[in-house]
Structure 1
């Protein structure tokens, strides 16, 4: 999955908290958010707030699907509310490799052909 496919997939599934998201899908989408939020922050405060609001729900959904991909419940996103430790725990879970077999959250995501 390339950058464009990941961003399109995450926005298309912006309220889909079920299923699974591969590592590339999740991390390409996080990169898109970080870059856009960083640039928007330099341009204007209101633009930054707009980027955060546009990405909020899709990021939560992608995070829940990413946790499902490693066999964890999406509710573990709430651990991110714990300062420092929560973020580190979520980082640990989201960098783990996908479970190759089906789990309680569905079959593994199908690899997408890399396109331009």
Structure 2
């Protein structure tokens, strides 16, 4: 959960680098949050439909910018420009390429985007 909160604290910070652990922990916690909101919306939807839609919409609007930011920082960590995020607009192939970039190991040295984040302490 600390990794998720660390991404939220860097809400719109597109500069710097994000290690694999930061990115994937954010993705996993975000997945469970979406599932939880979906279940909650299902229960609430039985009584008041508009509330269930607005709950998931509000969360989606809240999380989109930090999601983009951590993805761009992850691309920076692999020594790629953040503009590579746009490859996800290419159907199927773009998502596969972006997924491969997200699972690649960090550039072990300092690069144009900063020092190796593996050398920094983990969030508490």
Q: TM-score, normalised by structure 2?
A: 0.83
- 2:88 and 2:14 mapped to 1: Cα distance? 17
Q: CA deviation at 1:43?
A: 2.3
Mean alpha-carbon deviation: is it higher for 33-42 or for 92-101? 33-42
Q: Helix, strand or coil for the counterpart of 2:113?
A: coil
Select which of 24, 40, 43 maps to 2:21: 24
Is 1:77 matched with 2:85? yes
Determine the structure 2 residue equivalent to 1:65: 73
- 1:59 and 1:104 mapped to 2: Cα distance? 22
Q: How many residues align?
A: 112
Q: TM-score, normalised by structure 1?
A: 0.88
Q: What are structure 2's unaligned runs of at least 5 residues?
A: 42-52
Mean alpha-carbon deviation: is it higher for 48-57 or for 14-23? 48-57
Q: What are structure 1's unaligned runs of at least 5 residues?
A: none
RMSD over aligned CA atoms reads 1.5
- 2:33 and 2:70 mapped to 1: Cα distance? 17
